[in-house]
A = this chain, B = another copy of it.
């Protein structure tokens, strides 16, 4: 099972807000770039808002970043959209048989090991800021423009 596209959608939204910071970024407008429906955008935007990453103007509409791109990393976004509960990337089968030595102990041992794997991934996300991403994105945009 993949990690929900809410994460990449969230990253897309924030990249847009960073690059198009002078535009009037309504959910409808963002939906046009992401190419999904505006309600999903609003849902994700709501999560980004609750995480303190963006501000959404009610009434007049439009969203903008509350932090510098250099101060937002991909793990912040990952957490914000709650695609995976903290420490729960791997789904464990519930209640292995406590009568069986393996069943009784495998969860503890495996949880420890898999946490390390998960942490390794999250550290990579943590080390990449929105600014890094936007810089690479702008380079790519220029490459393709020429």
Residues of A within 8 A of B (CB): 1-5, 7-9, 11-12, 15-16, 19-20, 32-36, 74, 83-84, 88-97, 100-106, 108-110, 112-114, 116-118, 120-125, 128, 133, 136-137, 140-141, 144
Contacts and interface: CB of A to CB of B under 8 A. Distances in A.
B141 A101 contact: yes
A102 B140 contact: no
A39 B64 CA distance: 51
Given A102-B19, A124-B117, A91 B5 contact: yes
Given A12-B103, A109-B137, A120-B120, 5 more contacts: A1-B2, A8-B91, A19-B102, A74-B117, A101-B141
| Identical copies in the complex | 2
Contacts of A2: 1, 84, 88-91
A128 to B, nearest CB: 6
A30 to B, nearest CB: 10
Given A100-B32, A104-B144, A11 B117 contact: no
A34 B93 contact: yes
A7 B106 CA distance: 13
Contacts of A12: 93, 96, 102-103, 106
A106 B4 contact: no
A32 B98 CA distance: 10
21 contacts: A1-B2, A1-B84, A4-B91, A5-B92, A5-B93, A7-B91, A8-B90, A8-B92, A8-B110, A8-B114, A11-B110, A12-B93, A12-B96, A33-B103, A35-B97, A102-B141, A105-B140, A105-B141, A108-B140, A109-B137, A109-B140
